[in-house]
């Protein structure tokens, strides 16, 4: 960990605010935004250090935003708990593998997965759901299986995983997107802490930058929660916002990765 300048602290706090806003609004965009921000704006030069730092910051911000949604009673706790517990196992294995993969290839794979999920979220059926859904043995089994896979992918890419967890919860339980967003934050926080612990063990977290990022994220989450509840009243709007965010950031990551490759 190196000394942090005033400009880095300010940029980290501002970036954290954007991440907190995104997490509260769509349950994703945490590390999708955090990793590029730490690499290209804050100036952390090591991809794995950025991943570890973002995992910690996003996890704490996710739990803070979870409290906001819980007050609005949009969290489906049984589904959220089953998904998170199974996903933690996958995240532990995925993060161990992710540390062994070349960082440039890691970011390109990251972008490819994002685009695939964004396309899936634009399907008309993705905007539907049952707000009264309750967990059953069949739903529980699907959530366990999807949670394991999602956790593994989340840990591999070093992300909180909201952009995968939200569709996973909707697919496994049939809940509407606003409930999936709220419920996903429990998994985002749990996966993120699992990944962060793994990276911390290898000394791959900048604790000072993470602190500034978290402080900004808590403030940004307040506005994101309010906007999410308003957007949920318009069918399909949250899905389109979710997909648009994924496409924009995926394109940016691909562009930066390709332009920085040695010629």
pLDDT at 103 over 70: no
Q: What is the DSSP track for 52-103?
A: HHHHHHHHHHHHHHHHHHHHTT---HHHHHHHHHHHHHHHHHHHHHHTTS-H
Report how far apart the first and last C-alpha atoms of the chain are (Å, whole number): 30
Largest distance between two CA atoms of the chain: 55
Q: What angle is formed at CA 193 by the lines to CA 176 and CA 100, rounded to 5 degrees?
A: 110
Assess whether pLDDT exceeds 70 at residue 124.
Answer: no
Q: How many residues does the chain have?
A: 263
Distance CA 37, CA 35 (A): 5
CA 46 to chain centre: 20
State how far the Cα of 168 lies from the Cα of 228, in Å rounded to an integer: 19
Each residue of 194-237: pLDDT tens digit? 888 889 998 999 999 999 999 999 999 888 888 888 877 776 77
Predicted pLDDT at 138: 93
Check whether 98 has a pLDDT greater than 80.
no
The winner for highest mean pLDDT among 97-101, 115-119, 258-262 is: 115-119
pLDDT value at 96 more than 70:
yes
In the prediction, which pLDDT does 204 show?
Answer: 92
Q: What are phi and psi of 22, to 5 degrees?
A: -65, -45
**Number of other CB atoms surrounding residue 73 within 10 Å:** 9
> Does residue 126 carry a pLDDT above 60?
no
> What sections of the chain are H helices per DSSP?
6-26, 30-36, 47-71, 77-98, 103-121, 137-157, 162-173, 177-201, 207-231, 237-259
DSSP 8-state symbol, 263: -
Phi, psi of 239 (to 5 degrees): -60, -45
The token duo for 241 is 């916002």
Q: 122 in helix, strand or coil?
A: coil
Place of tokens 């697919």: 171
């Amino acid at each position: 960990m190196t000394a942090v300048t005033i400009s880095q602290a300010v940029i980290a706090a501002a970036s954290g605010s954007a991440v907190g806003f995104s997490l509260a609004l769509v349950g994703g965009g945490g590390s999708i935004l955090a990793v590029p921000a730490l690499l290209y704006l804050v100036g952390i030069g090591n991809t794995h250090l950025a991943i570890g730092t973002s995992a910690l910051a996003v996890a704490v911000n996710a739990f803070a935003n979870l409290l906001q949604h819980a007050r609005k009673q949009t969290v489906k706790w049984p589904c959220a708990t089953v998904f998170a517990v199974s996903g933690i196992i996958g995240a532990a294995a995925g993060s161990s593998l992710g540390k062994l993969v070349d960082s440039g290839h890691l970011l390109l794979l990251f972008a490819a997965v994002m685009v695939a999920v964004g396309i899936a979220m634009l399907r008309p059926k993705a905007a539907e759901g049952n707000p009264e859904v309750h967990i059953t043995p069949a739903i529980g089994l699907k959530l366990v299986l999807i949670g394991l896979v999602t956790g593994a992918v989340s840990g591999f890419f070093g992300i909180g995983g909201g952009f995968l967890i939200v569709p996973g919860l909707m697919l496994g339980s049939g809940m509407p997107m606003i409930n999936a967003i709220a419920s996903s934050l429990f998994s985002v926080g749990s996966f993120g802490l699992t990944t962060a612990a793994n990276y911390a063990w290898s000394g791959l977290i900048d604790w000072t930058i993470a602190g500034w990022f978290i402080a900004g994220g808590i403030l940004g989450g307040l506005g994101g929660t309010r906007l999410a509840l308003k957007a949920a009243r318009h069918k399909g709007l949250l899905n389109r916002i979710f997909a648009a965010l994924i496409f924009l950031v995926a394109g940016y990551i691909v562009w930066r990765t390709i332009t920085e490759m040695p010629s």
